[in-house]
């Protein structure tokens, strides 16, 4: 255990490790990708965590993201930047989900309305701790909003680049929360190329997905929470909306750490990486038996958050899916929109399009026998549906005229 004497926060981080080569990197230093251009993973002294954190102690704490502090990388208490990262609920959807065994983990309850808050709160806290003063990032919307909020809260200058068709509400909230935001005539990887060029020139630190090590650590709390909420068991299957795939990678890491702590067994959920059929590089690579995914050309879908033509952590996503016995699956926009509509009207839960994609994928997996209706399944709704365009509601009533109450 490395205890920083300037703080009351014990840390169990030992080092960072290249996810491909295993090369070791020192903690407490600013890192981007590894020397072979792959994500770095944070490693912990889990035997020391086990000795210092009895499960009953964890269970006595408030159920927020920071209850997991021994399994998180922040060393200094005063580095933490928070907007109230709660444990998100598991919501049954018995009507649209076809029974009582389907639960939605509703990440839209987090600050800035999406699960991007988990990753960005950790990444920004570590940037603050390591002395970063200026950040740039490409985004399809929600990640930029989370970055803007947390960076503004702790005084880090932020520049965000987003595709030109990013939903207007996302662009405006990014600007409203203090970042300089620019629309770019291209897709998110085109925006990422601009960020990378500026970083190479020393203008800012590159906060692109998986190009710094700590967003994974924030996102892995989804897996830690899920295990605790289900009584230290895991569901039979998880359907996760997959663009960059940080959360899927993070959850797979979380399950391994929990097993090493002795808090769960070796059983794992089947992991389903859900993509839109109009942008499905992981699905194509999975079906072709490839380890890496080629860029998806002409990417398009109503689910902007998973419109990621190329993911730097592609091999980590594919590895987790295959090791778990799961699949990468694609669903079309009509099925996504139908799932969103059905869940809202029948179960009262307004999913974002990306969350709708997981429900659509589950329904298809149920139809083909990939999953059984008796299995416990968790779908991830990654953002509040309130951020997204909704169908018109055109009915109008003139209170001064005769009212046909039967027609109402």
Burial class (CB in 10 A: 0-12, 13-18, 19+), 349: buried
Give residue 4's pLDDT band: very low, low, confident or very high (50, 70, 90): very low
pLDDT in tens, 218-277: 999 999 999 999 999 999 999 999 999 999 999 999 999 999 999 999 999 999 999 999
In which order are the strands placed within the sheet that holds 134-138?
180-184, 157-163, 134-138, 205-206
- Tokens for 186, please give them: 């291209």
> How would DSSP label each residue in 188-224?
HHHHHHHHHHHHHTTSSEE--TTSSSSHHHHHTHHHH
Interval 277-298 mean pLDDT: 96
Cα-to-chain-centroid distance, residue 238? 13
pTM summary value: 0.93
| β-pair type (270-276, 327-331) | parallel
State what percent of residues in the chain have pLDDT above 90.
94
| Rounded distance between C-alpha atoms, residue 408 and residue 200, angstroms | 63
Integer Rg of the chain from CA: 21
Quick check: helix, strand or coil at residue 379? strand
Interval 269-291 mean pLDDT: 97
Q: Nearest Cα to 129, choosing from 179, 199, 81?
A: 81
In tens, the pLDDT along 114-170 reads 999 999 999 999 999 999 999 999 999 999 999 999 999 999 999 999 999 998 999
Q: How far is CA 102 from CA 91, 155, 156, 378, in A?
A: 8, 41, 40, 6
CA distance 69 to 81: 13
Residue 288 confidence (pLDDT): 97
pLDDT tens track for 155-212? 999 999 999 999 899 999 999 999 999 999 999 999 999 999 999 999 999 999 889 9
- pLDDT at residue number 389: 87
Q: What band does 9 get if pLDDT is binned at 50, 70 and 90?
A: low
The domains located in the chain, with CATH, are: 2-62 (no CATH), 90-113+214-387 (3.40.50.1100), 116-206 (3.40.50.1100)
Q: Which residue has the tokens 């139809």?
A: 367
**Tokens standing for residue 95:** 């009507």
pLDDT tens, position by position, 33-45: 999 999 999 999 9
Closest by Cα among 34, 40, 22 to 216: 40
∠ CA 297-298-300, rounded to 5°: 125
């Amino acid at each position: 255990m490395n205890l920083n004497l300037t703080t009351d926060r014990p840390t169990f981080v030992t080092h960072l490790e290249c996810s491909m080569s295993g090369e070791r990197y020192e903690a407490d230093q600013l890192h981007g990708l590894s020397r072979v251009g792959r994500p770095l993973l944070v490693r912990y002294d889990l035997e020391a965590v086990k000795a210092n954190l009895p499960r009953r102690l964890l269970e006595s704490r408030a159920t927020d993201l920071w209850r997991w502090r021994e399994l998180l990388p922040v060393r200094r208490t005063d580095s933490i930047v928070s907007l109230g990262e709660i444990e998100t609920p598991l919501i049954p959807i018995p009507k649209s989900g076809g029974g009582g065994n389907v639960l939605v983990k509703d990440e839209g309850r987090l600050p800035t309305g999406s699960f991007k808050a988990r990753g960005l709160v950790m990444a920004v806290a570590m940037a603050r701790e390591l002395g970063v003063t200026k950040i740039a990032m490409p985004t399809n919307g929600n990640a930029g909003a989370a970055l803007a909020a947390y960076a503004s809260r702790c005084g880090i200058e932020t520049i965000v680049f987003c595709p030109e068709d990013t939903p207007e509400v996302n662009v405006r909230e990014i600007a409203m929360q203090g970042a300089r935001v620019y629309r770019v005539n291209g897709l998110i990887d085109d925006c990422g190329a601009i960020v990378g060029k500026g970083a190479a020139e020393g203008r800012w630190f590159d906060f692109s997905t998986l190009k710094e090590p700590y967003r994974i650590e924030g996102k892995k709390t989804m897996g830690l929470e899920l295990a605790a909420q289900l009584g230290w068991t895991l569901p039979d299957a998880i359907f996760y909306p997959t663009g960059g795939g940080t959360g899927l990678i993070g959850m797979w890491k979380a399950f391994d750490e929990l097993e090493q702590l002795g808090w769960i067994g070796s059983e794992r959920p089947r992991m389903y990486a859900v993509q839109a059929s109009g942008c499905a590089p992981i699905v194509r690579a999975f079906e072709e038996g490839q380890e890496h995914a080629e860029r998806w050309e002409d990417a398009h879908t109503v689910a902007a958050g998973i419109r990621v033509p190329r993911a730097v952590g592609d091999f980590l996503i594919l590895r987790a899916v295959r090791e778990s016995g799961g699949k990468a699956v694609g669903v079309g926009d009509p099925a996504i929109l139908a799932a969103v509509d059905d869940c809202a009207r029948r179960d009262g839960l307004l999913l974002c399009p990306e969350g709708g994609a997981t429900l659509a994928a589950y329904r298809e997996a149920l139809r083909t026998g990939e999953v059984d209706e008796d299995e416990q399944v968790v779908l991830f709704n990654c953002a509040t549906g309130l951020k997204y365009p909704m169908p018109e509601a055109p009915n109008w009533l003139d209170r001064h005229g005769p009212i046909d109450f039967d027609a109402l």
